[in-house]
Structure 1
Amino acid sequence: MNKSPELLLPVGTREMLEAAVKNGANAVYFGVPYWNARGRTEDFSMDDVRDMIKYARIHGVRTYLAMNVLVFERELQNLPEYLEKIISFEPDGFIIQDIGLARLIRAISPTQEIHASTQMTLASAEGVNLVKSIGFNRAVLSRELSAKQIAEVKKGTDLEIEVFVHGALCVSYSGQCLTSENFGGRSANRGQCAQSCRLPYSIYVDGKEYRDTNAMYLFSTHDLCALPKLEELANMGVESLKVEGRLKSPEYVAAVTRAYRKALDNSVADLNAKDLEPLEVLFSRGLTTGWLDGDNHQELVDGTFSNHHGLYLGRVAKVERSSVFVELSDKFISQFLDDGLPYPGDGILIEDNRFGVSLGSRLYSAEIVKNAHNKRGDGMRGLGPLLRLDFGRDFDTRKIAKGMDVFRNDSPALEKELRKTFTDRSQEVKTPVNMLLEGSVGDLLKLKIRIPSGSGKCVAEVQSETALEQAKNAGDIEGLARKELGGLSATAYELGHLEISIQGTPFIPGKVLRTLRQQAVQKLDEARLAWHDLKISASRGKKFLQDIRKGASAELGNLNKVPEPAEGLNISVLVRNPQQIAALRGLDIDNIIMDFDWGVKYDEPLQQIRDLGFKAGMATLRIHKPGENHYLKKILELCPDFALVRNLGALSILKDSGIPLHGDYSLNAANSASYDWLLAQGLQTLHPSWDLNSVQLFDLLDSIDGSRLELTLHQYMPAFHSEYCAFARGLTTGRRFPECGKICTQHKVEILDHKGEKHFLQSDAECRNTLFVGRPQSALKLLPQLRAAGVNSFRLEMLQEDPETVRQKVLIYTQAIRGKISIDDAIRQAGIQEKYGLSEGQLFNENTWQDRKK
């Protein structure tokens, strides 16, 4: 194994911090008060943040502050003083999603380390290298990459790479999920994910409910456990291994830290049942390696549940009064049989998802039995050892039937043992220190303490106030020194090697040794807290923002040519199948953007668009991963009139192509500082993030050139955008393409949510799925204000409409945009065209989600 990577743990409370530090974490991350992507955690105070950074640093643990949300324009303008204060606490780094925020932090403190959050949807070396110019020191990659793809990214960049190795998986690409916002007005990009992926859904195929599946929880993924891939990740040079879970318990953090620390320091083969069982018992929706071994849609999503189930024990083989006999799973037999039996008081879950039966109770006792059959024909003969679970009389075992699944999903005894790891000083992981004690009669007694594996600053020297005197009787100096100098239980250290260099027989009081030890530890702590000059200045940040508002930023100033503002109105229509193109003949539009499904060719449709007198554009995919340049090569080969860029990797590859580029909403531009940088990469126009409502949108327009902004006036809003294929999981037994039989090309699939609303499922050219909200969003009401703000580029997006419906919709909107019919008439006519009605969407939601703390 190469140099051991950093083990990075989540912190949602002070206890979680201590659990991580005392069990061997190299680094921790926790949220900046208010500004972080876990809105349901309790915010720390500023004093908390400062004290936690100091505590971690004294213990040799790095701290990263998560500020991984989008920041709106008005907020960005008010942030410099806030950032100045929190940077002054000297964190090791910030985890950032918003490009504008990253630039502001760098303006305030040029040497402050910043990490690109997984919310930035970085999945290729090209994307990582593009943001390097902002000043990022590390990139947290998308969780959808395989180990081979991570290795490819690592080879292609010199930035540090961080990957998730344990915890919850999102079914949607982080930073690209608008489900919570569309379904509940709670933006995941603002720390308010409502976990809509964990809700039940029904599948409709070609208009009829599809019942031949058990996947009610179609989008609820298993959890991630990368222990089997740990050595591979370390050997490829990944710098940081990240655990998810700021909403989990301190005991959970302790268990995960201990298991991964042991695996990194030794090997995964050294892990035993006591290391592994709490990973599932404390919280688990089933553990898999996620995408690290490539796509496996059947394994990634079980589909029958979405909540914590714990450790799977096996299936019910027999019920007898208050006892349940369990035929153990192969995994349990191989890993846990010897020392992983449930404790009395543990929680046991027994269920049958076929009939919606779920029962739970506390355990009275458990034992392995080898001869559980008691009569001929009871179906027990031939079975191996069984686990007998005994319950109290109040638990009605008559509801339990043979074949039901059994889980161990709670263990007070296990939690108690784990709690000791961060409350019992004798169990915590400490930093070894070497000490040198030297002196002689007539000289001062000196103590030098150092961390052998640390940097040059990890050394402290102290000396006694008075010279040593001659002892009347020779004593056991070594024994006394070990006792007094080794009294480090209340510190971050433990005594490693002690060297004693005492000349003669001086008298050394124990009190003097204790005083030297205390002084030396204090000086060592102070040395570890020493930090480099961050050159912090809120004023510099304010000037940076002012320059952007004046259009004088360094990035735009360095461009050879800034495109002239477009004259007049410019209307684009995005189509998702070639049959929609002919329907646009003769309509008052300017551009047609092609965004086709898997296997659809672009050359003939491109020429068809030009023959109709329109400019032809091609949309990139929303994600760019290693080995996926063929689609971008097709754009370069066909040389369309323009390209709609949807990810940073594509922007990096296309920026010098000479093809005019326009940026889409998936680039998540939410403020003038992010707009400024993205436009400086060669984009002519840029669509704002869909996290903005109308108030925030016009705040943004007050700070930018409106002619460089494009807005979609009509579209089916994307909710999930996922590497996971719900077509394959729900309708086939295929693990991946081509085992799925390209089922997505054969049927129209709709997903019914818990509110009774249907949504459209669509695949793209890389088999990724997008769930589109069934009721399209119309922004027509904003048209007069947008025009007044200088916006003249508008888009209309089609989805599955037939050609006639496409023509009718586009005609209505173009007439409204050109001023030929009133806005009210257009909205009324557009609503008639929609199968599930028309929505105003998030743009008209002016509420701020208040109930942040659960």
Structure 2
Amino acid sequence: MRRKDEIPELLAPAGSWDALVAAVAAGADAVYLGGKRFSARMFAENFPSLEEAVDYAHARNVRVYVTVNTLVRDCEIDELEDYLVEICEIGADAILVQDTGVVRLARDIVPELELHASTQMTIHSADGVRWAARNGLKRVVLSRELSVDDIKNIKNVSDDLGVGLEVFVHGALCYSYSGQCLLSSSMGGRSGNRGMCAQPCRKPYTLLRGTSDEYGRLKDLRRRGGECYLLSTRDLCTYPSLDKIVSAGVDALKIEGRMKSAEYVAIVTRVYRDALDAIARGDWAQDDGEIQRLALAFNRGFTEGYILGADDIMGREMPDNRGVLVGKILNCSGGFAVVSPTGEILPEPGDGAVLRSGAEEIGFVVRERVDLQNGTFGLRVPDGARTGMYLYITRSARMRDDAERIIRRGRDRIPIDLRISFDNGVPVADVYLAGPSGRIELSVKGDFVMEAARTLPLSPSQIESQMRRTGGTQFVFREVVIDYPGGLYTTPAKLNQLRRDILRAAENALVHSYKRVCTRGRSPALDRTERKADRLRVSVYADTLDVIDGALEGGAERVYFEPTTYEHDLASALEKARDLCEGRAELVWKWPRITRDRFLYMAGDVLRDFRLNKIMVENLGALEAAERYECEIFGGQGLNIWNSLSVCMLSGARALTLSPELSASQISSIASLRDRPDLEVIAQGNIVIAVTEDRLISEGDVCAIRDRRHIFPVRRDAAGVTNILNSVETCLLDYLPQISLMGVDSVAIDARWRTKKYAREMAGIYSRAVGELSELPKLKSMVRRMAMGGITAGHFLRGVAEASD
């Protein structure tokens, strides 16, 4: 038996009004939902009237977290301010945020509003939680890639900091670390960081392997296997081991699915509610029937995920709903099949079914009831069905009925204690119920006078019986005391109206108890000025000593070194890099995009023993650690710097790299800040567009993935994390004059996974270009000759697509 406070909150998705009703009815402790703007699921139905949705949940004692988890442009900040005030005033319990600039704005504008770090913030270390605590966040949704042991270690820190931990337990898994994926953005302009992910990870790809040429470009590529859904993950389902996650001490369990139906939300939420209640009682055991219900609701094949150490994360065979296998056709003729069942499920009228053989699928609806005879059953099937095909149920009529029952039954009702007394015949109801911050007390006075009975007076039990008829509401009277003088009478209709008035007043009081008075704070000051860089500096990203040597020969003024060695040779590599750069260029140790606690501890040891205190970081945990080690900080692409407020939030950095998703006008707005760190844009190279724990390739492999039109290089970094690069190189050489006029301080060339020759020649081109603008056409032709996959200006000209595009 566990105490109630030892059972984590169950948090369900509400992407539509019907899904909200389903989540509440199925027993969610809290829901998360979005409005029409600033939400990471812009294609969900969402809620035009947030207040109505929030009030509905609060009237049933369900907490509401509003998603404000997209990256924000400077031109949207005024609108966002008004939106945050609205969210605060309607009583939302918290907002989920990704953008560090939104953290800064919310702290200043609505300090009363609780902030939760979205998984899009890519917090995956104890230091990430330390950053969140230091900046006023009360909960962190951890990256899905963490294990239970990782979470336990982080929990040891988060408890002392007063920060809650939230983890996903069911639903779709992103291929990339959330917040670090530009796949959709690079392939079609629809940014996942703006809530518009087109899910290119669910498309087919072919894995290629080859070698590289003198510039590090791919060559001699050959297929490694056929086309398949290389980047498609299975769906997370932690139900079989839910008790292990509960034992880790997390504060909330999250179900993914704001794009899913109300039926899905009802079934999945109910399964996890029942499991948590059983764990609380101490009598929980895995039920295969519940797993079957979850699979019938929707599944791409289930995995227990990184959180439970599963090795079957990927579902490369198919990217959509697999349904549940129910049988194999033994014989088929004339539109009628004899099927051998594979389990206890049989098709029922109204079920959606599909027949599969390899990649071939034939869908149909079951129209007739089937009967099991001699171990087989007969079934009418569509044209094209044949012997040997497998039969799956992809949409269950029974599950639809089950979901409807869950919604009709509703959640456990809220108990009310009631005491009715009489003031000169007028009934006065004293009402007591539990609210979010303690007991709520109110008084309701009837609008009628009970008269002296002429014949049969009402008894206390009759009055109580009339009060207890609360069916169809979210309330139930627990204790009813009738302080009754006797001898009075009124009609049942008037007692019914009194009951309705009591329940309406209780609902209003409960909803009001969640409201808050928001004193709008002062907007952060964003002083701007016209500024122009004296001269653009040229930086180069390098991962080997040879590439550093080439960059220096080409005239690079700064080197970001991310060594390919992880531990035992690291100090030696850094020492050699320092010797190479001394007197020639500024050396910055670039940490990997993903820095687990183990790396950060090791990095601290290296820094203590080594004279190098300039660090490039790409996540908030690394930023926190580097600050603790008193390093000079350079912020990388992974920090997602999208607006002026983000720059202000990270103003302690020496320099910040702006997001490659920004347009020229957006960069110009940020660069006009008066007091800020130096700003840099990545002007050349194949941008990293996905960062994943999937070991798609082996260490040292020269590989790529190919879709129908493009080839995307794939590399592994020193931490073993897989990086997918854009199919074409970003090239902003033409726009260097414009970039300089904006006041940007430096441009960077990403020469990681390339060669000394590439680094030398590309650094030489950009070093000449920043001083001799007249040579740009000639220099650009040189870039074309060594670029991998061609060149593009990326989002520099137009930015990413918007929902209205």
Fold similarity call, TM over 0.5: yes
Matched, 1:146 2:118: no
1:214: Cα distance to partner? 6.2
Matched-pair contact (CA < 8 Å) for 1:117–1:140: yes
Distance, in Å, in 1 between the alignment partners of 2:605 and 2:241 is 34
Distance, in Å, in 2 between the alignment partners of 1:358 and 1:532 is 50
Distance, in Å, in 1 between the alignment partners of 2:800 and 2:100 is 25
Cα deviation digits, residues 306-351 of structure 1 (max 9, x gap): 01112233555555662242452xxxx4xxx2xx433123122222
1:434: Cα distance to partner? 3.5
Distance, in Å, in 1 between the alignment partners of 2:208 and 2:423 is 91
Aligned residue in 2 for 1:186: 190
Matched-pair contact (CA < 8 Å) for 2:206–2:226: no
Aligned residue in 1 for 2:169: 165
Cα deviation digits, residues 483-531 of structure 1 (max 9, x gap): 4212223422134444445455544643343233122112211221224
- SS of match in other structure, 1:655: helix
Distance, in Å, in 2 between the alignment partners of 1:456 and 1:49 is 25
Distance, in Å, in 2 between the alignment partners of 1:116 and 1:279 is 28
* Letter of the structure 2 residue corresponding to residue 397 of structure 1: A
Distance, in Å, in 2 between the alignment partners of 1:29 and 1:99 is 20
Distance, in Å, in 2 between the alignment partners of 1:284 and 1:187 is 25
Q: How does 1:191-340 map to 2 (within 5 A)?
A: 191-206=195-210, 207=219, 213=225, 216-267=228-279, 269=284, 275-294=290-309, 296=311, 299-313=312-326, 319=332, 322-326=336-340, 328=342, 333=343, 337=344, 340=345
Distance, in Å, in 2 between the alignment partners of 1:142 and 1:407 is 33
Aligned residue in 1 for 2:538: 571
Judged with a 3 Å threshold, the aligned counterparts in structure 2 of structure 1 residues 406 and 80 are, in CA distance, closer, same or farther, namely: same
- Percent same amino acid among aligned pairs? 27
Matched-pair contact (CA < 8 Å) for 1:203–1:749: yes
* Letter of the structure 2 residue corresponding to residue 750 of structure 1: A
Distance, in Å, in 2 between the alignment partners of 1:607 and 1:839 is 36
Aligned residue in 2 for 1:554: none
Judged with a 3 Å threshold, the aligned counterparts in structure 2 of structure 1 residues 582 and 81 are, in CA distance, closer, same or farther, namely: closer
Judged with a 3 Å threshold, the aligned counterparts in structure 2 of structure 1 residues 229 and 276 are, in CA distance, closer, same or farther, namely: closer
Q: Quick one: which of 558, 573, 594 aligns to 1:623?
A: 594
Distance, in Å, in 2 between the alignment partners of 1:149 and 1:519 is 52
Judged with a 3 Å threshold, the aligned counterparts in structure 2 of structure 1 residues 567 and 632 are, in CA distance, closer, same or farther, namely: farther
Distance, in Å, in 2 between the alignment partners of 1:633 and 1:324 is 67
1:69: Cα distance to partner? 0.4
Distance, in Å, in 1 between the alignment partners of 2:436 and 2:624 is 39
Aligned residue in 2 for 1:377: none
Matched, 1:527 2:509: yes
Q: Quick one: which of 625, 628, 631 aligns to 1:659?
A: 631
* Letter of the structure 2 residue corresponding to residue 286 of structure 1: G
Q: Quick one: which of 751, 763, 767 aligns to 1:814?
A: 767
Matched, 1:548 2:526: yes
1:164: Cα distance to partner? 1.2
Q: TM-score, normalised by structure 1?
A: 0.85
Q: Quick one: which of 556, 573, 577 aligns to 1:589?
A: 556
- SS of match in other structure, 1:300: coil
- SS of match in other structure, 1:827: helix
Aligned residue in 2 for 1:15: 18
Q: How does 1:28-67 map to 2 (within 5 A)?
A: 28-45=31-48, 48-67=49-68
Distance, in Å, in 2 between the alignment partners of 1:13 and 1:37 is 14
Q: Bigger shift: 112-121 or 269-278?
A: 269-278
Distance, in Å, in 2 between the alignment partners of 1:457 and 1:823 is 72
1:582: Cα distance to partner? 3.1
Matched-pair contact (CA < 8 Å) for 2:353–2:366: yes
Q: Quick one: which of 739, 744, 752 aligns to 2:699?
A: 744
Q: How does 1:713-724 map to 2 (within 5 A)?
A: 713-724=683-694
1:259: Cα distance to partner? 1.0
Judged with a 3 Å threshold, the aligned counterparts in structure 2 of structure 1 residues 278 and 117 are, in CA distance, closer, same or farther, namely: same
Matched, 1:414 2:399: yes
Matched, 1:359 2:344: no
* Letter of the structure 1 residue corresponding to residue 301 of structure 2: G
1:66: Cα distance to partner? 0.8
Distance, in Å, in 2 between the alignment partners of 1:660 and 1:455 is 44
CA RMSD of aligned residues (A): 2.9
Q: How does 1:692-711 map to 2 (within 5 A)?
A: 692-705=662-675, 708-711=678-681
Aligned residue in 2 for 1:753: 707
* Letter of the structure 2 residue corresponding to residue 154 of structure 1: K
Q: How does 1:639-678 map to 2 (within 5 A)?
A: 639-640=611-612, 642-678=614-650
Matched-pair contact (CA < 8 Å) for 2:169–2:255: yes
Distance, in Å, in 1 between the alignment partners of 2:688 and 2:168 is 25
Distance, in Å, in 2 between the alignment partners of 1:575 and 1:315 is 55
- SS of match in other structure, 1:581: helix
Matched, 1:491 2:469: no
Q: How does 1:750-829 map to 2 (within 5 A)?
A: 750-755=704-709, 757-819=710-772, 822-829=775-782
Aligned residue in 2 for 1:604: 572
Q: Bigger shift: 179-188 or 224-233?
A: 224-233
* Letter of the structure 2 residue corresponding to residue 607 of structure 1: E
Aligned residue in 1 for 2:350: 345
1:414: Cα distance to partner? 2.7
- SS of match in other structure, 2:668: helix
Distance, in Å, in 1 between the alignment partners of 2:536 and 2:384 is 71
Distance, in Å, in 1 between the alignment partners of 2:800 and 2:601 is 43
* Letter of the structure 2 residue corresponding to residue 28 of structure 1: V
Distance, in Å, in 2 between the alignment partners of 1:433 and 1:368 is 46
Cα deviation digits, residues 330-377 of structure 1 (max 9, x gap): xxx4xxx2xx43312312222233xx22222223456675745xxxxx
Matched-pair contact (CA < 8 Å) for 1:708–1:791: yes
1:752: Cα distance to partner? 0.6
Distance, in Å, in 2 between the alignment partners of 1:444 and 1:533 is 31
Distance, in Å, in 2 between the alignment partners of 1:191 and 1:441 is 58
Cα deviation digits, residues 86-128 of structure 1 (max 9, x gap): 4322211111111111221222222111211111111122112
Matched-pair contact (CA < 8 Å) for 1:229–1:292: no
Q: Quick one: which of 379, 398, 401 aligns to 1:390?
A: 379
Matched-pair contact (CA < 8 Å) for 1:655–1:661: yes
Matched-pair contact (CA < 8 Å) for 1:182–1:719: yes
Aligned residue in 1 for 2:214: none
Distance, in Å, in 2 between the alignment partners of 1:270 and 1:706 is 56
Q: Bigger shift: 172-181 or 494-503?
A: 494-503
1:673: Cα distance to partner? 1.3
Distance, in Å, in 1 between the alignment partners of 2:676 and 2:625 is 26
Q: Bigger shift: 136-145 or 779-788?
A: 779-788
Distance, in Å, in 2 between the alignment partners of 1:278 and 1:389 is 24
Distance, in Å, in 1 between the alignment partners of 2:528 and 2:762 is 39
Aligned residue in 2 for 1:732: none
1:468: Cα distance to partner? 5.3
1:37: Cα distance to partner? 0.9
Distance, in Å, in 2 between the alignment partners of 1:431 and 1:344 is 34
- SS of match in other structure, 2:796: helix
1:713: Cα distance to partner? 1.5
Q: TM-score, normalised by structure 2?
A: 0.90
Judged with a 3 Å threshold, the aligned counterparts in structure 2 of structure 1 residues 685 and 605 are, in CA distance, closer, same or farther, namely: same
* Letter of the structure 2 residue corresponding to residue 697 of structure 1: I
Matched-pair contact (CA < 8 Å) for 1:168–1:224: yes
Matched-pair contact (CA < 8 Å) for 2:326–2:346: no
1:839: Cα distance to partner? 1.5
Cα deviation digits, residues 258-316 of structure 1 (max 9, x gap): 111111122484675664434222321112211111252xx111211101112233555
Uncovered stretches (5+) of structure 1, i.e. residues with no partner: 373-385, 552-564, 728-742
Matched-pair contact (CA < 8 Å) for 1:457–1:528: no
Matched, 1:838 2:791: yes
Distance, in Å, in 1 between the alignment partners of 2:340 and 2:598 is 46
